[in-house]
Amino acid sequence: MSRLSALRGGKLVLASHNPGKLREFRALLAPLSVALVGADELGLPEPEESGSSFADNARIKALAAARASGLPALADDSGLAVAGLGGAPGIHSARWAGPEKDFTAAMRRLREELSDRSGGFEAADRRAAFVCALCLAWPDGEVREFEGRVEGEIVWPPRGEGGFGYDPVFVPEGEERTFAEMTAAEKAALSHRARAVAALLAAARADSPPS
């Protein structure tokens, strides 16, 4: 049995202190029947995210959590890449919210920077993508990596009370509602995290021995 398939029914650390992300991953990983615990529940520190890409940062966080806990750990590094901002905020998406994780301020900054660069928000190139890099790591340093991406556009003003982060200003392709206007199940069917987790689940199924 591979390490991926051996996760089924076991304990897995989510290398995040974000309760919204923990809830979302618990739902997404339900097919694996894992007991998912957050890094804060175990008192794990947050490592410095010094990578130059989403994949780099996910790997840093997953390996740090796995080694500190002695358990397999899953980390994602997710962010919003906006065409009119040259791909920003990108890997700095969370940092735009500051130490208080004020995403209302981060969304306001997004609108202001788009407006400033283009002579107004409506004239800006508001094409955007949410990107999620997933890294699953074990205490001995083995890793498996996956990626998910969803295209869409930025809207203003923010709409919806659900989700978290930049969800209220992001409308995915083919939809008229923002992620924050969708139910958790509707968002899960479309989101970048859902697509990255789907790749992980597909790999786990492929690695499972035939019954």
- Give catalytic residues, as residue numbers: 77
99-117 in b/e burial notation, b at 16+ Cβ within 10 A?
eeeebeebbbebbebbbee
Name the β-bridge partners of 172.
152
Are the C-beta atoms of residues 137 and 72 closer than 8 Å to each other? yes
DSSP one-letter code for 176: S
Beta strands at 35-38 and 11-14: parallel, antiparallel or unpaired: parallel
Cα(171)–Cα(138) distance, integer angstroms: 35
> In a 10 Å sphere around its CB, with 0-12 CB exposed, 13-18 middle and 19+ buried, how is residue 199 labelled?
middle
- Map tokens 């008229």 to a residue: 176
Residue type, 77: D
